[in-house]
Amino acid sequence: MTNDNTTHFGFKEVPKQEKVALVRGVFDSVASQYDVMNDLMSLGIHRIWKRVAVQLANVREGDQVLDLAGGTGDLTTLFEKRVGKKGRVVLADINAAMLRTGRDRLINRGLAGNIEYAQVNAECLPFADNTFDCVCIGFGLRNVTDKDAALRSMYRVLKPGGRVIVLEFSHPTDPITEKVYDFYSFNLLPKIGAIVAKDEDSYRYLAESIRMHPKQDELKRMMEEAGLERCEYFNMTQGIVAVHRGYKF
């Protein structure tokens, strides 16, 4: 049970001021193998989850998009195609190693003109009020120390009429899926991490962080308390992943 000065790092309780450094250590370690591990962890299905999230974002040509926890740039690549040359996508991440990996990948793909990069903390975004048509955070909210502060910050930088998209691992909706998922997460995933990324502990943390993340209805309530309206969520793969969407009016 956490108090005002502590938070969860996986199943561990740690001082709030230490979590950012701990999470940074995880992603510094896995950055170079992050995409390979994503494919192995999800059997490639993460690409479908991301496409669904972008579709639900309803991004149009000329829009301004903030891709938070954008990591190696998968969502930014999809958004870039939709906003076109008149639009802008900001690939943002708190982790410098992940941001460098994403920037290098996008430059190698020839994507540069309408993409910017920013190392930011989601809890205190360094952008003006009412800047973006869409703020998306993909598989990153669970790693944020103060999720409520992050959602409020996302709401602040969103334009009226804009939407927040949260793509995140969530909680299975049926007991059979939950049992299979638990076995995979705590028995197989760390071993895959040890072999491929040479880091068993980081992938054990990632599995634990998913279990500590708010359930679907709780996250919807948190988004509403941050000021977002018409909040809803869409379960995918029996609730293993969910996309939450909320609007600013």
Return the axis-axis angle of helices 16-30 and 34-42, rounded to nearest 10°. 90
Q: Is 230 helix (H, G, I), strand (E, B) or coil?
A: strand
145 annotated as a binding-site residue: no
Q: Is 110 left (phi over 0), alpha (psi -120 to 50) or beta?
A: left
Residue 14 and residue 20 in contact, taking contact as beta carbons nearer than 8 Å: no
121 annotated as a binding-site residue: yes
CA atoms in the 13 A half-sphere facing the CB of 221: 5
- Cα 178 to chain centroid, rounded: 21
Residue 10 and residue 204 in contact, taking contact as beta carbons nearer than 8 Å: yes
72 annotated as a binding-site residue: yes
63 annotated as a binding-site residue: no
Helix residue spans in the chain (DSSP H):
16-30, 34-42, 46-57, 74-83, 96-108, 147-157, 175-183, 189-196, 200-212, 216-225
Annotated binding residues: 72, 93, 121-122
Annotated binding residues for S-adenosyl-L-methionine: 72, 93, 121-122
